[in-house]
Structure 1
Amino acid sequence: MASRVRGWRLDRNLTQEELAHLAGIDRSTLQRLESANWEVKLSTVSRIAHALGISMVVLLG
């Protein structure tokens, strides 16, 4: 999932800071998720998907 979040973020030309702000999460949370060093809560996945304008199903692949 880490590479999918990063890929979608980059496709949208967003920085980690910008996506974290849009998703209402800390940048450090997004950074850990993208580096695959953290187990993410479903609610966080939902917020990130919403901020990217995609469904959780698409984000999770």
Structure 2
Amino acid sequence: MQQKGEAMTYLNLNQLSQKLGGRSRSSLYRDVEAGRIPEPIRLGGRPYWIESQVDDALIGQSQAA
């Protein structure tokens, strides 16, 4: 969870793929559709994910398993 005053880190598609073990673009969007990772935000027409939200989603999944 992000602390107050901490800068947000945005991940582009390639960075997110690396963070999640090299998952393909289509697999990442299936994860979004299934609610496993958050929806990207669009900046300049490109998708970016807020890293702290991705981390929170992954932690939530590991706790539920």
Q: Same fold (TM over 0.5)?
A: no
- In terms of fraction of residues, the more strand-rich structure is 2
Question: TM-score, normalization: structure 2?
Answer: 0.34
- In terms of fraction of residues, the more helix-rich structure is 1
Question: TM-score, normalization: structure 1?
Answer: 0.35
